[in-house]
Each structure stands twice: as structure tokens, then as C-alpha cells.
């Protein structure tokens, strides 16, 4: 009696089923549980809901990250602006000191200063004439 029984495999390909097992395939493929599993895999409403939720999450994350990046960049820009202001203030002081020294030199030697300015003007004129 045991020799006449066949063993049914559940994970076999349809082309490998013998005559005793072939009647099972339409019942498995047509079963409500099998069809529900397929429908749930391709449920467009559920997929749309999940995509909307994903879109909301990504938008929230990008906005949060964007705000943090903006705040960090703003802080760095303000620090750089402060450094530039300090450097310009120092440069202004240095230029004022140099201007005072230059005025003192010109006042002490007016003829030499006038001759130097004339010579410099001639040199610059020749250079601009060639180009």
C-alpha cells in the first residue's frame, strides 16, 4: 500500500509535475490565498500611500537639513565678514600712517618729489604707448 502513494512537492516547477501531481497546480494558482498574496504585492492604493508617506518624510528631512546648512553657512559668512572688517580697519590705519610719512617726505623735498613723479609719468606713458 505504501508503494502506491506518491509524495507531493510544493516547491516544484510546473513542467516537473507528474500526472498524479498535475491536478494540484490549478488549485494552488486559483486559490484565494494565492490570489490575495499576488494582489497585496501589487496593490496600487497601498503603494501610492507608501510613496506619499515617503515623499513627506524626504521633504521633511531635506527641509531640516537645508535649514541646518543655511544656519551654518550664515554663521560662517558672518565670521568671515567680521574678519574682513577687522582687516580693512587695520589696512586703513596703515594707509593713514603711510600717507602721513609720504606727505612728510614730499614737504621736505619738493623738487625731488616733482622730478620723481615726472619720471614715473614718462615711464608709464611709454609702457602704455607700446601696448
23/45: higher pLDDT: 45
pLDDT in tens, 70-128: 888 889 999 999 999 999 999 999 999 899 888 888 889 889 989 999 999 999 999 99
Confidence check: pLDDT of 9 > 50: no
114: left (phi over 0), alpha (psi -120 to 50) or beta: alpha
pTM: 0.38
Q: Can you give the pLDDT at residue 8? A: 46
1 pLDDT band, cuts 50/70/90, is: very low
pLDDT number for residue 62: 78
Name the 3-class secondary structure at 13. coil
Residue whose grid cell is 621736505: 108
For the stretch 34-43, pLDDT in tens is 556 656 656 6
- Please give the Cα distance from 128 to 131 (Å, whole number): 5
Amino acid at each position: 500500500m505504501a508503494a502506491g502513494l506518491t509524495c507531493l512537492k510544493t516547491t516544484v516547477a510546473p513542467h516537473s509535475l507528474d500526472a498524479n501531481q498535475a491536478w494540484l497546480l490549478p488549485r494552488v494558482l486559483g486559490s484565494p490565498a494565492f490570489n490575495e498574496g499576488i494582489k497585496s504585492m501589487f496593490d496600487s492604493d497601498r503603494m501610492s500611500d507608501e510613496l506619499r508617506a515617503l515623499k513627506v518624510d524626504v521633504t521633511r528631512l531635506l527641509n531640516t537639513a537645508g535649514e541646518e546648512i543655511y544656519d551654518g553657512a550664515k554663521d560662517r559668512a558672518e565670521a568671515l565678514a567680521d574678519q574682513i572688517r577687522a582687516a580693512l580697519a587695520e589696512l586703513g590705519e596703515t594707509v593713514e600712517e603711510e600717507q602721513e610719512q609720504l606727505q612728510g617726505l614730499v614737504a621736505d623735498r619738493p623738487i625731488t618729489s616733482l622730478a620723481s613723479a615726472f619720471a614715473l609719468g614718462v615711464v608709464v606713458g611709454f609702457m602704455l604707448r607700446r601696448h
